[in-house]
């Protein structure tokens, strides 16, 4: 029933507005949405955000100039979990573009440099649910304390392909290309092409 109502609504809208007109309306809405979202960040300039975006701890997030993100970006700067306090920081540089359905989560520190491109469905985290030990493994995953092995640093001019996972304590050097669906478990030197699970250097540029 719900899908039928949505279909009818879309048909009515399409009767009054052409596809190109609807795109223009969506773009104007996103401009207003970006202006409204901007005030939530610690610092942000020249945002172009597509609705919706999911924010947690926006006061710990700094965004540089000319930031562009597609729908359903999730940014989590977590300052408390199960009574434990954290000092999270997410820093995004200038001219960063993030495609649909990406998730970036920090209890420690994540830095994304200038001129970085993230394809869709990229996951970047500086933490996990619990350490890998006997005490932690006895608890349900959702009740394990958050644990960070270290910051995540993505340097300038990095291109990260679709479905990539970047795990805690990793630095990805400048000018690196990370192939689709790679799982980055260790730091990568600059000027590299990497891929696989776990990610390995395929060639040096």
Query: For every residue of 45-109, which 3-state class applies, written as one string?
Result: CCEEECCCEEEECHHHEEECCCEEECCCEEEEECCEECCEECCCEEEECCCCEECCCCEEEECCE
**Which residues carry out catalysis?**
129
Counting residues of the chain whose pLDDT is more than 70, the rounded percentage is: 91
| Pairing label, strands 200-204, 192-195 | antiparallel
Domains and CATH numbers, the chain: 41-204 (2.160.10.10)
Position 154 confidence tier, pLDDT thresholds 50, 70, 90: very high
Residue 1 has pLDDT above 70, yes or no: no
């Amino acid at each position: 029933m719900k899908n039928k109502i949505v279909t009818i609504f879309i048909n009515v809208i399409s009767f009054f507005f052409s596809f190109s007109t609807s795109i223009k309306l969506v773009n104007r809405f996103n401009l207003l949405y970006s202006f409204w979202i901007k005030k939530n960040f610690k610092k942000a300039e020249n945002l172009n955000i597509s609705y919706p975006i999911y924010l947690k701890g926006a006061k710990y997030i700094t965004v540089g100039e000319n930031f562009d993100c597609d729908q359903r970006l999730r940014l989590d700067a977590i300052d408390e979990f199960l009574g434990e306090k954290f000092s999270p920081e997410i820093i995004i540089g200038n001219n960063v573009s993030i495609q649909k359905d990406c998730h970036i989560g920090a209890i420690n520190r994540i830095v994304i440099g200038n001129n970085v491109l993230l394809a869709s469905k990229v996951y970047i985290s500086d933490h996990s649910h619990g350490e890998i030990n006997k005490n932690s493994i006895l608890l349900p995953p959702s009740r394990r304390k958050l644990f960070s092995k270290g910051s995540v640093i993505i340097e300038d001019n990095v291109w990260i392909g679709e479905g990539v996972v970047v795990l805690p304590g990793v630095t990805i050097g400048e000018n690196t290309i990370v192939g689709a669906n790679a799982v980055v478990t260790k730091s990568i030197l600059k000027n590299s092409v990497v891929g696989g699970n776990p990610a390995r250097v395929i060639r040096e540029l």
